[in-house]
Amino acid sequence: MSGPTRRTNRHFISLSPKNHIGGGLRARPGEVSLAHHGVLFLDELPEFHPQVLDALRQPLENREAVIARANHRVAYPASIQLVAAMNPCRCGLAGEPGHTCRRGPRCAADYQARLSGPFLDRVDLRIEVPAVSAADLTLPPPAEGSAEVAARVAAARARQTARFEALGVPARLNAECGPNLIETVAESDAAGRALIAGAAESLRLSARGYHRVLKVARTLADLDGEDRVGRHHLAEALALRSAGPSLAAVAA
């Protein structure tokens, strides 16, 4: 996704839904619309007021920010990729070797509880990122650099666009698929269907969560250059959805 990157890490007390979504006496777009076709990065995610985070639910679902007034309604485009970062607890060291939070497990539980279930249901990828040590800084660069990754992503996006053009549907990317369409293009074999059915029950996936897993699995298959979603793609998508909260990204 190309476009602007908006970084928002103001303290949750000073940021209102009006600033984030838009509004005011003379309705103006907020951060989420200013990042249209780009990335909105939220640092220290639980420090935002819960009302601000829950106001993001509609833009993440419908790709537009709607501001309703008594006599008019304004809708701003808000097709964004939301990326957010957070510490595991308020002190930031939960799970680190040799460290014990003074409040014990409640430190992390209370901090992460600031994120509502409906908001987290719209988060596709949850990746735990361990703390970087001084020794890590001396390691050689990864074998696959940014240019190689960018080429794989561009190829996957081209596959998606070609697929939907062939089907004659308006979607360009997997993230834009409706429920019926993603079930068609992300159809797996018997082993894959059994896996996702069992995971939907054991993980208590909502209908939204189920279809978001399919979108991620379809994208993983496209990155691998495969026409069909395999069991391993579904397994990876489920693992990415159920990992820890140190870094969260909503695919878009």
- pLDDT under 70: residue ranges of the chain: 1-27, 69-71, 243-252
66: CB partners within 8 A, 6+ apart: 58, 73, 74, 75, 76
Rg, the chain, Cα only: 20
The pTM for the full model equals: 0.82
Alpha carbon separation from 140 to 108, 128, 145, 246 (Å, rounded): 33, 22, 11, 24
12: CB partners within 8 A, 6+ apart: 47, 48, 49, 52
Question: Would you state the pLDDT for residue 5?
Answer: 59
Architecture of domain 5-130: 3-Layer(aba) Sandwich (3.40)
Question: Would you state the pLDDT for residue 19?
Answer: 56
Tokens of 212: 């978001």
Can you tell me the distance from the alpha carbon of 93 to that of 70, in angstroms, rounded to the nearest whole number? 47
Give residue 192's identity as a one-letter amino acid code. G
Question: Would you state the pLDDT for residue 166?
Answer: 96
Question: Would you state the pLDDT for residue 216?
Answer: 97
Residues 154-179 have pLDDT tens digits of 999 999 999 999 999 999 999 999 99
Which ranges in the chain belong to alpha helices (H)?
17-21, 31-34, 50-54, 57-62, 105-112, 117-120, 146-167, 179-185, 190-202, 207-223, 231-242
Question: Would you state the pLDDT for residue 252?
Answer: 46
Cβ proximity of 26 and 60 under 8 Å: no
In the DSSP assignment, the letter for residue 132 is P
Per-domain residue ranges of the chain: 5-130, 146-242
Give how far the C-alpha of residue 88 lies from the chain's centroid of Cα atoms, to the nearest Å. Answer: 17
Question: Would you state the pLDDT for residue 2?
Answer: 56
